[in-house]
Structure 1
Amino acid sequence: MYSILSSVSQSVRLSVSALALVGAAAAPAWAQTAPAPTPAAISVAPAPLSSLVASVNIPYQRFVLKNGLTVLVHTDRKAPIIGVTTYFRVGSKHEPRGRTGFAHLYEHLFFGGSANVPDFDVPLEAVGASTNGSTWYDRTNYVETVPSGALELALFLESDRMGHLLPAVTQDKLDKQRGVVQNEKRQGDNQTFGLLQYVIGDGLFPVGHPYRHSTIGSMADLDAASLTDVRRWFTDHYAPNNAILVLSGDVDAATARPLVEKYFGAIRSGPVVRSVQAGPVTLPAPIRREMTDRVANTRLLRVWSGPGLNDRDAVALSVGMDVLGGLASSRLDNALVRGKEMAISVSAEAEAHEQVSVLQVSMDIRPGVDRAQAEAALDAVIATFLRDGPTPDEVRRSATRTLSHEIDALEVVGGFGGKGTTLAEGLLYSRNPAHYKAELTELARITPEQVRDAMRKWLGRPVLAIGVTPGERTQNGDTMGGWGDEATRPAPTPDPRKPVPPVKTGPARKAPPVAPVGRLAFPALQRATLSNGIPVVLARRTAVPKVIVHISFDAGLAADALDTPGTQGLLLAMLDEGTRAEDGVGQTRNATQVQEDQERLGASISLGTSLDTSSVTLNALAANLSPSLGLMADILRRPALSDADVARVKAQRLASLAQALKSPRSIAAMTLAPILFGPAHPYGMSGDGLGTAQSLSAITPDALRAAQKRWLRPDAARITVVGDITMDHLIPQLEAAFGHWQAPATPRSIKPIDRPAPAPVPRIVLIDRPQSPQSVILGGKVLPITGRTADMEALDLANEVLGAGFLSRLNTDIREDKGWSYGVSTGVRLALGQRSLILSAPVQTDRTGDALRAMIADMKAFPAKAKVTPVELQRVTEGNILSLPSAYETNAQVLGTIATNDLLGRPDNYVTTQPARLRAVTAAKLDAMAAQHLQPDGMVFVIVGDRAKVEPQLKDAGLPVEIATPPGQ
C-alpha cells in the first residue's frame, strides 16, 4: 500500500530514519506475578483487526486558496512542533524524451535560495528545523519539522520558493547542483547490484513508458540541461494549483488559514500539469536478462509490472507479496532459507505507484548451491503459492503487522513517513486525504481467496527473469537510466524555445520573526530494581498505546576481543532462531515459529550489537505486553543454538561478509579500524561484527553457548522502558519474565577497552577497485578522550561546524560549492573507550586528489584561518536547543537517549539541562576544540577506487601512499 507504506524517495538531504514499532491488541494482564510462562503457555487470542483499523485516525480540516493551493491541517498537540509538508504533482514520469532527471535536478535547485532568501537551510537550521526533499515517479515533496514558533517562518520560506524562485536560479547554481546529482547517481551505481534498477525498468516497460526511465535520469540528459530548460520546467510545474500543503502538529486551521493566505495567496496559478498515460505492461513472452557485476553471490529476480495503488487488487497484492517473501516467516524464507537452505536471503514486495506497481521476488543463492536447482526451487515456491494461495493465519499475520506499523506512524507529524505525508499522498493519488482508512479497512477484511486470485492474475503473466552473477561489471551506469533510445538518436540539445525571463517578484519580502519556544518537556524518569538486581528505568509516554522494552548488556562488538571475532554478531543473530525447554532438553520453537509468534502477538523483537553493548529490544502494544515479554525472555534466556541452525546462519553471515568485501564503503571501514586501534584492540575490529572468514568459520555452537553465558547475563544487563505503562504495572510483568533469572557464579568479563592504541602513522592507504565511478575516502584518527570524558559538548558542536550536517564546512565546500560529491561528513564516534574522528567522503574519481587536498585544507583552516562565525555558533547552539522537541518526538528517540546516557553515566537531568550547557558554549571554546581534536594531523586516509586513475592524483597530497589489498584477500 503506497500512500502509507511506500514513500520511497531519492533524498537530497541528510537521511531520515525511524525505528518502526509494531504491536497488536489483546486482553491486559497487568497483575501477572507468576514465574515466566513456558512457551506452551503463551497463548493470545487474535486481535480484532477492526479495532486496530479504528485506532489509526488522522482527522484534518481542508481549505483551498483562490489560486488553487489545497491546504490540509491536522492538529496534534503532543509536542510543540509542526510538520510542514508540500507535495507537487511532478515527478520523473512527467519528463519528456531528452529531459530525464529534470524533476530530481530541480528538487536540488529548490534548496538553493530564492529572490528573498539566499539559502533556505540557513534560517531553517537556525531555528532547529529538520528539512529534506525527495523526488519519485509521481511527485516531488519537501518536508520540514519546525518548532511551533517558527511556523510563520516556514510558510514564508515555502511560499518564497514557490512564487519567487526563478531570479535565484543561475547558471552557476545549475552547474553545481548538476554535479551533485551526477555524483548521487555515481554513488548509487557504485554499490553492489547498483545497476539493477535500470535493467528492471528497461525490461518491464517499452521505450517511452513514463515509468521506464529512472528518477535520477541519464548523464547525457543531465549534461544537456540548460538554464532555459530548468526555468521552463519550473514555470510549467511548480504552481500553487499543482501543490498540496499539509500542516500537522501543534497547529489548527483557524490559526493556519490567515497565515497561508498571507504568504501564498498572491502567488499566481500556473498551467495544470499534463496527465500521463501509463499503466502495467504484460510482456508478450517471458524475458531473461543476464548480467555480471562485482558481487559475491548470484541473485535471481522475478519481476512483473502490476496495477497502480488505486486498483482493486492493490491491497490483495501487498498482502500476497508479504506472505510470499515479506514476512520473516514468509513462504520463501521457510522453503529456501530455513528449509532447503538454498538461499542466503529472499524477499518479495509490491512497490506501488500511482499508475503502476513493480512486483518483485528476489533470491540470493547460497554459495555452493547449483543455480539451476535454485531457480527451479524458487519457481516452484511461487507456483505453489499461486495455485493454493495463503492460509487465513498468514493473511492475518500480514494484516496485523501492517496495521501495527500504521499505529506507530501516528507518533510522527512530519517528515517522509509522518501523518502529513499520509494525508498529502492520499489526496494527490486518490483524491481523498483519508484514503489510508479505505486501504486499512480493506486490509482488515481481505480473504485468502482474494489474495490468491490477485496473485494468480498478476504473477501468472509472462515474467522478467534476471540473473546477476559474480564477475566483471560489463555495463556502465553513465549510459543507463535514460529514455532508452539513446543509441539511435543524437545527444539531447538544450530547449530551443525562447529563454524564460525572470519573473517579477514585486517588493522585497522580509522573513518574519520566530515566536518564543517553550521549555523542553522530556518525560520524567522513574527507576526501580528487579529482585535479581537488574536496574530498570521507565519514561512514561501515552501518545500511542505502545511500549518499548530495551535490554542492553555490557558486551557489544568489543567483547569479541576476548572471544573469536564475529562471535557477538553471530550469537545475537542466533537468538531468534529457535528456543529450547527450561531444562535444556528439546526444542520448543523453531525459527519459523518464533517469527510467527511475534506476528500473531503483533510484537517485534530486534537483536543487535553496537561497539560497547549487545541488546534485545521488544516493541509491543501495552495491552499485549505480558505475553510479548514472555516470548522475549524465552528468546533471550533459552535460545536453542542447535548445530543445524548455527551452521545455516553462519553460512549466511559468511555470504554477507563476502558481499561486504565487494562494497567500497565496507572495504574502507574494514581496513581503517585495525589501522587506527590495532587488530588486537576491542575497537580494532570491523564495525559490522562479521569478523573474518577464518574466524567466523571457526565458531562452534559450544562457543556460542559459552558466549551467551559469559555476556548475556542479568548482572551485566539494564532495562530501559518507554511507552504507555506505569511503573506499578510494569515491574510485575518484568519480574515474571526476568526476575527469576540468576547470574552465573563466574565473575563478569572485563573488556580491555583501555588498551592503548598504536602511535599514528599518517598516510594514504589506496585499495584498487577498477571501474569505480567514485572513490570512497574514509579517514580517521584516535582522540585522547573517552565517552565519559566530561565537558565534551563543545567538541561535538565544533564537529557540527566542520562536517556533521548539511551546512557544515566540508559538505558546503565539496558538495555544494564544488559539486564533487553527494555528501561529505565527519563524526566523533561515541564509545565508552577512546573516541575517534572519522571522515567519510565518496567523491567522483577524477577529483579524488583534489577533494582530499581540499578537505585537509578546510580542516587546517579551522580555526587557524577561519574561526567559528556568529551564524555557525547560533546554528549549533541555539539551533540545537530549538530542535530538541522534534528530537524526542517518538518513543524510540527517547529510549535511545536514555540508554546512551545510562551507558555513559550521565545524570537523569542530562537532557533537561542540555539547553543551559549548549548556551554556555562559546565561539572560543569551539575554536579550541577544533584546534585540539579536529585537525588532519595524525590521520590515516583509506581510499577505495580505481587505482590507475586515482594514484597519479595523490602525488602532491603531502602524505605517503601505501598500496593495499582488500581485507581477506
Structure 2
Amino acid sequence: MKPFLMFCSAATCALATATLTPAATAQTQASTAKPVPVATLVKQVDIPYQSFTLDNGLKVLVHTDRKAPIVAVSTWYDVGSKHEPKGKTGFAHLFEHLMFNGSENAPGDFFEPLKQVGATDFNGTTSFDRTNYFETVPKQALDRALFLESDRMGYLLGAITQGVLDEQRGVVQNEKRQGDNQPYGLVYYKVLEELLGGTPYGHNVIGSMEDLDAASLEDVKNWFRSHYGPNNAVLVLAGDIDVATARPLVEKYFGGIKAGPESRLPAVTVPTLAQPKTVTMKDRVAATMILKTWAVPGLNDADAVPLDVFGEVLGGLASSRLDNALVRREKSVVQVSAGVQSMAQLGMFTVQAIVKPGVDAASVSQRLDAIMTDLIRNGPTADEVQRVATTNVAQRIAGLESVGGFGGKAVALASGELYSNDPLFFKKQLEAMARVTPAQVKAAGAKWLTRPALTIIVEPGQRDAYQEAQGVAAAKPAAAAPQAEPAKGTRGALPGVAAVTDLDFPDVSRTKLSNGIDLVYAQRKAVPITQVAMSFDAGAVADPDTKLGTQGLTLSLLDEGTTTKDSIAIAEARERLGAVIGTGSSADRTYLTLATPSANLAGSVDLFADVVRNPAFAPAEVERVRTQMLTGIAQELTSPQGLANRALPTLIYGKGNPYAKLAAGSGEPAAVKALTRDDLVAFHRAWIRPDKATVYVVSDRPLAEVRAALDARFGTWQGQGTAGTKAFTVAPQQSAPKILLVDRPDSPQSLIMAGQMTSLDPATELLPQLTANQVLGSGFLSRINMELRENKHWSYGARGGYSWMERAVPYMISAPVQADRTGDSIKAIQQQVRDFLTTKGVTQAELTREVNGTTRELAGRFETSGAVLGALQENDLRHRPDNFYDTVAQKYRTMTVQQLDAAARGALDPNRFVYVVVGDASKVRPQLDSLGLPVEVVPAAALATSATTASK
C-alpha cells in the first residue's frame, strides 16, 4: 500500500499521443515475457520452524537460516497501548524506552553492550497490540544477547530509579513533539478520538503529555509487574541456530524467571458511527487533505484479506481506481491512497487525498465517495485482484531475506504466534490473497464500507491550539536526577564473546554489455529476487543552473508514459510482474532501479528498459506531474526538515559551487513552472544515456543469465547528441559563522542544523575520520546524541556526520529539540564538539567499542541483497577495491586513539560552524541572541528562491 501523508511521483494519467524518439526507434524491443502465476510465487515463501515452551510459559520459536553467521533475537510482549487504562496512556511505549536503559545485571544503556558485540537491526517498537525488542548478532554473541533480553525480562525493576524515569519521560515527550511538529501531525489523534474513542484502541500509542507527566515511579513499576512476565512473551531465534543449540541456552538464561500475571485481551467490538461525521481542522500545510475512515475487523477476521484487497484496488496499487480517476484523468488531486491499518482486534480502513490547490475540496470528497460506491456495487476485476496478490507476495519474498529487524523472518513468526496463535499465519494470509475472488472482495466492501464514515478535512491556515502545546510552554529545566542506588546484580558478569570471523563479502564480477556499459554483479541466493541499479554520472549538480528542478521533473515522468505504453499500462505491467521500478538521485549520481522476483526477470527488464530508454514526456503528463511537483515543493516549505535542507547548503557551499544546487530541494518553484518539454528531453538525452551509466546487479540468478537479459534490452542503446558535463570551477566558500533562523510559527520543536565545509580530499580513504565521528556524532552512543537525548532529554535524537560527496566533504549536525531549549541545545552541541576536538578526544574504551562493534557487525550489515547492492555502488564512488569489505576489519584493528583524534582535529574546527534553526521565532530568537553569533531571521517563503540565488 502507498504511504499516507506523502507526496509522490507514482504513475499517473493516460498518455497523450507522442512522436517516437530516436532512442525508441533504435531499440529492438524483446517480446514481453508472461508473468509466472502468483501461486508459484507463494510457494517460494516459507519459514520452517521448531518450537518449545519453558515451564514458566515462555514460548520459543527457532528458524534455521545458515546464509550468514548471525542470529536474530526477537522478543515480543503481549502488551501494547490497548492494554492501558484511562490516565495511563503511553505507559507501554514509555516502558519500551525504560527497558533499553539497563537492568540490574547490565546497568546503563543496552546499546553499549549490543554495540560491543556488533549487533545490527537492534531497536524496539510499541504498537496498539504489543511491545517488541530485537537485535541481530554474530552467532558468537548469542549468549550475551540472551543474557540481556532475559535480564530486562526478569531483573529490571531494581534498575529503574526516579532519575531514569524522568530521563526517558523527557525523551518520549520530545519524540511526541517531533511527530506533532510535522505537517498534518495532529490528524491521527483526531481520527482515533472520533472513530475509536471508547474502545481500547481509542488513544495514540505515544500517549498524552498529561499522563506521562503524572506517571509515578510506583505506577510504572506496577505496570511492568503486570505485563512483562515470560508467560506473556514470545521469543524467536532465527538464523545460524538450531533448536538443539537454542533450547539449553534459553533454559539457562530465561528458565529461572518466574511467570507473571496472564495478559488478558481487552474486550473490543468494532464500533460503528451513528451517522456520518465531518471534522475540519486547520494546519500550516500547503494543500487541503481529505481523510475518510471506517472501523473494520482485525487481521484474524475472515474479511481481513478481502478488505485489504479492496483497499489496494481502490487506492493502494499504482494503477488503483482512485489514482486512475482523480490523479491521472481528472487531475483534481495530487496524491491519493487507500488501505487498511490492521491491528489484532480491529482495523481502520482509510481513504486519503491531497487536493490539488485551487480545486474545490467538497467536489473531491464527492468523487471519492462515488468511486468507492462504484467499486462496492460492481466489485474489482479478476486482473486487479491478481495484481494485488502478486504485488504483496513479491514484497513479502523480498522482506524475508532478513532474519530479523523490523520486518524479517523473526517478525513474521512472532507476530503470527502472538496475534493469531499460528507462526505461519503470514503464509496463510498470502495463500488467502492468492485465491480470493472478486465476489468476496465486493462482499466485504459492501458489508463494512457502506456504514457511516468519519471525514477529517485539514485546510491550510493557522494551526488550531491543542493541549499538547502547553507542555512546551510549561517545560522546566531538567532537574538533576535524584541519587537513588540501583539494585545490585546477582547473575554475574555479561557472557564473553568468542572471536567473530571476518566478513566474507560476496565475490564481485565485472563485465560489459555489448555497447560498453559496465556491469557490476554479485550473487546472493537467499531469496529469489533480482535487484538492479542503473547509476548515471549526473545527480543534483547536473541540474541546469537556472532551471533547478529539471532532473526531478524528468525522473518523475519516466514511468508516466513511454512511446508505446501509457502510465496506466506501465503501472499494471509492474503489478502483474511484482516488479518495483524507482528513480532517485544524490548530489553526484542519478539512479534508476528495478527489483523483481527473479522468475519474472525477463518481463521486468523489458518494462524497465522501456521506461529508461523511451519516455514520451507527453505534454498533458508534463503539466499534471508539474502540478504534483509544485505542490510537493510547497509542502517542503511547511516541513521543518524541508526548510532546513533548503537553508543550509547555501551557507556551506556559497555562490557558484554546483553543490549549492542542493538548496533547491525538489526544485525551485519559478523554474519548475517555466520548464518545457524540450528541457526535459534535453536533460534525458544529456544525462540518462549509456556512456554515463554503470549497471549494478545483485541476484540469485547467475551472471550469464543476468547479463543476457540486460544486454538484450540495453546492449544496442546509443546516446543521442552531446553528453552533459559538470563544471566544478568554483570551490565551496562557506559563510562566516552565524545563525539563520527560519521562522515557522507554532512549532513545538526547533530543528537545529549545523555545518561546516572541511578541507578533506574526497578522493582519499576517510575511514579514520568516519570512525572518529562514530564517537562524536554517528549512532545512538555518540556524544552529541547522548548529551541531548539521554543526559538533557531535550531531544528524541541528534546526530552529526560527514556528507562524503565526490568533490566535497562537509560535516553536518541535525538536532530536533524542544522549543524552549533551542539556545541551550546549541550551547550543548558547541561544548561537545569543542571538548572532543581539544581536551576530551576519543578514549581507549570508545575506540575499543567502535572497533569491536564495527568489525563484528559486518556479516549482519551485509545480510541483504539491497545492502550489498549499495556497497557495490559506494565502493565505485569512493574508488575502493571490490574486496574492500573483506579487508576493512584489519584496517579498523590498526587504529589508535591518537590517529582518530588527529583525523577529527584535522577536519573540523569548532569555531567555524554555521547554524540553521527552524522554529517559532517569537519563542526562539531571545534564546539565540546570547550565543555570540549574528542572528538572521527569514520567513519560510524566502527559501523558495535561495538556491537559484546561490548558484548564480
- TM (norm. structure 1) is 0.92
Residue number among 511, 515, 523 corresponding to 1:540 in the alignment: 523
Corresponding residue for residue 499 of structure 2:
516
In 2, distance between residues paired with 1:867 and 1:479? 39
- Cα distance change of structure 1 residues 195 and 951 upon mapping to structure 2, 3 Å threshold: same
Report what 1:820 is aligned to. Answer: 794
Distance 1:923-1:93 versus aligned 2 partners, 3 A rule: same
Question: How far does residue 477 in structure 1 lie from its aligned partner after superposition?
Answer: 5.3
Equivalent positions of 1:335-374 (< 5 A) are: 335-374=325-364
Deviation at 1:380, TM superposition (A): 1.3
Equivalent-residue separation in structure 1 for 2:425 and 2:742 (angstroms): 51
Q: Does 1:730 align with 2:706?
A: yes
Question: What percentage of aligned pairs have identical amino acids?
Answer: 48
Q: Verify the 8 A CA contact 2:192 2:201 in the aligned structure 1.
A: yes
CA distance in 2, matches of 1:37, 1:460: 50
Structure 1 residue ranges, 4+ long, deviating more than 6 angstroms after superposition: 501-506
Contact 2:837–2:905 (CA<8 Å) still a contact in 1?
Answer: yes
876-885 or 192-201, which deviates more: 876-885
Show CA shifts across 1:186-219 (max 9, x none): 0000000000010100110233x21001000000
Contact 2:686 2:721 in 1 (8 A): no
Query: Is the 1:772–1:946 contact (alpha carbons within 8 Å) kept by the matching residues of 2?
Result: yes
- Counterpart selection for 1:653 from 612, 621, 629: 629
In 2, the alpha carbon distance for the partners of 1:502 and 1:310 equals: 46
Q: Deviations over 1:22-69 (max 9, x none)?
A: xxxxxxxxxxxx996538x3241x422222222111011100111111
Alignment RMSD:
1.9
- Give the Cα separation in 2 of the matches to 1:271 and 1:878: 40
Which one of 698, 709, 724 corresponds to residue 749 of structure 1?
A: 724
Q: What is the deviation of 1:562?
A: 4.7
> How much does 1:222 deviate?
0.3
CA contact (8 A) 1:828 1:838 kept: yes
Give per-residue Cα distances to partners, 1:95-142, cap 9 Å, x unaligned.
111100001001100011111112211111011102100101000000
Q: Residue 758 of structure 1 aligns to which amino acid in structure 2?
A: Q
CA distance in 2, matches of 1:900, 1:849: 37
CA deviation map 1:494-513 (0-9, x unaligned): xxxxxxx9998873422111
The 10-residue stretch of structure 1 (46-55 or 136-145) with the greater mean CA deviation from structure 2: 46-55
Q: What letter is aligned with 2:686? A: R
**What is the CA–CA distance in structure 2 between the aligned matches of 1:750 and 1:686, rounded to whole Å?**
18
Tell me which moved more, 810-819 or 49-58: 49-58
Distance 1:107 1:194 in 2: 22
Is 1:385 equivalent to 2:375 in the alignment? yes
Question: Secondary structure of the equivalent of 1:943?
Answer: strand
Give the Cα separation in 1 of the matches to 2:759 and 2:490.
55
Give, in whole Å, the separation in 2 of the partners of 1:406 and 1:968: 40
Amino acid at match of 2:611: I
SS of equivalent residue, structure 2 residue 74: strand
User: Equivalences for 1:778-927 in 2 at 5 Å?
Assistant: 778-788=753-763, 790-927=764-901
**Partner in structure 2 of residue 196 of structure 1:** 187
2:660 to 655, 677, 684: 684
CA shift, 1:749, in A, is 2.5
Tell whether the 8 Å contact from 2:36 to 2:599 is kept in structure 1 after alignment. no
In structure 2, the residue matched to 1:489 is none
Partner letter of residue 261 of structure 1?
A: E
* Cα offsets for 1:326-371 (capped at 9, x unmatched): 1111110000001100000000010000001010000000111122
Pairing partner for 1:769 from 719, 728, 744? 744
Residue identity in the other structure for 2:32:
I
Residue range with higher mean Cα deviation, 832-841 or 948-957: 948-957
Cα distance in 1, alignment partners of residues 491 and 173 from structure 2: 34
Distance 1:265 1:952 in 2: 57
Which amino acid is 1:590 matched to?
D
1:533 to 1:240, Cα distance in 2 relative to 1, 3 A: same
Question: Which residue identity is paired with 1:664?
Answer: P
Contact 1:799 1:930 in 2 (8 A): yes
Partners of 1:557 and 1:689 within 8 A in 2:
no
Of residues 64, 77, 97 in structure 2, which corresponds to 1:75? 64
Residue 956 (structure 1) shift: 2.2
User: 1:107-256 to 2 correspondence within 5 Å?
Assistant: 107-119=96-108, 120-130=110-120, 131-207=122-198, 209-256=199-246
Contact map agreement 1:685 1:691 (CA 8 A) in 2: no
**Residues in 1 aligned to 2:757 and 2:921: alpha-carbon distance in whole angstroms:** 27
Q: Partners of 2:251 and 2:538 in 1: how far apart?
A: 56
How many Å apart are 1:728 and its aligned residue?
Answer: 1.9
- 1:456 equivalent to 2:446? Answer yes
Query: What letter matches 2:879 in structure 1?
Result: G
Which one of 400, 403, 412 corresponds to residue 410 of structure 1?
400
Which residue, out of 588, 595, 606, partners 1:630? Answer: 606
Q: Match of 2:79, SS?
A: coil
Classify the secondary structure of the residue corresponding to 2:165.
Answer: helix
How far, CA to CA, are the matches of 1:944 and 1:340 in structure 2? Answer: 37
Distance 1:897 1:688 in 2: 28
Secondary structure at the aligned position of 1:192 is classed as coil
SS at match of 2:76: strand
Quick check: 2:648–2:663 contact (8 Å CA) kept in 1? no
Letter in 1 for 2:878: L
Q: Deviation of residue 918 (structure 1)?
A: 1.5
Deviations 1:585-610 (A, max 9, x none): xxx11111111111112211111111
Show the 5 A alignment for 1:663-742: 663-686=639-662, 689-742=665-718
SS of 2:571's equivalent? helix
Shift of 1:480: 11
Shift of 1:569: 1.1
Unaligned runs of 5+ in 1: 9-33, 482-500, 581-587
Tell me by how many angstroms 1:752 deviates.
2.3
Q: Which amino acid aligns with 2:794?
A: W
Residues in 2 aligned to 1:675 and 1:248: alpha-carbon distance in whole angstroms = 48
- Which whole-Å CA distance do the structure 1 matches of 2:278 and 2:598 have between them? 49
Q: Which residue of 1 aligns with 2:541?
A: 558
Question: Which string of whole-angstrom CA distances, capped at 9 and with x for unpartnered residues, describes residues 286-321 of structure 1?
Answer: 011000101010000110010011000000011110
The TM-score normalised by the length of structure 2 is 0.93
Residue 567 (structure 1) aligned with residue 542 (structure 2) = no
Q: Which residue of 2 aligns with 1:15?
A: none
Give the CA deviation at 1:653: 0.3
- Give the count of matched residue pairs: 909
Counterpart-to-counterpart distance in 2, 1:35 and 1:513: 63
Tell me how far apart the structure 1 counterparts of residues 746 and 513 of structure 2 sit (CA, whole Å): 58
SS in 2 for 1:626: helix
| Aligned-partner residue type, residue 509 of structure 2 | Q
Indicate the SS of the match to 2:497.
Answer: coil
8 Å contact kept, 1:35–1:737: no
- The residue type paired with residue 323 of structure 1 is V
1:952 and 2:952 correspond: no
Residues 290, 457 of structure 2: 8 Å contact kept? yes
Q: Distance in 1 between matches of 2:428 and 2:734?
A: 63
Secondary structure of the residue aligned to 1:198 is helix
Q: Secondary structure at the match of 2:443?
A: helix
Find the residue that maps to 1:785 and give its secondary structure.
coil
User: Which sections of structure 2, spanning at least 5 residues, go unmatched?
Assistant: 5-24, 472-483, 946-952
Tell me, in whole angstroms, the C-alpha distance in 1 between the residues paired with 2:589 and 2:163.
Answer: 48
Out of 90, 111, 114, the residue aligned to residue 101 of structure 1 is 90
- Distance across 2 between alignment mates of 1:506 and 1:202: 44
SS in 2 for 1:636: helix
Asked if 1:434 corresponds to 2:408, the answer is no
2:294–2:350 Cα contact (<8 Å) kept = yes
SS of 1:578 mapped into structure 2: coil
- Cα distance in structure 1, aligned partners of 2:896 and 2:691: 42
Question: What CA distance in whole angstroms lies between the structure 2 residues aligned with 1:680 and 1:398?
Answer: 48
State how far apart, in whole Å, the 1-side matches of 2:654 and 2:664 are.
17
Deviation at 1:680, TM superposition (A): 3.3
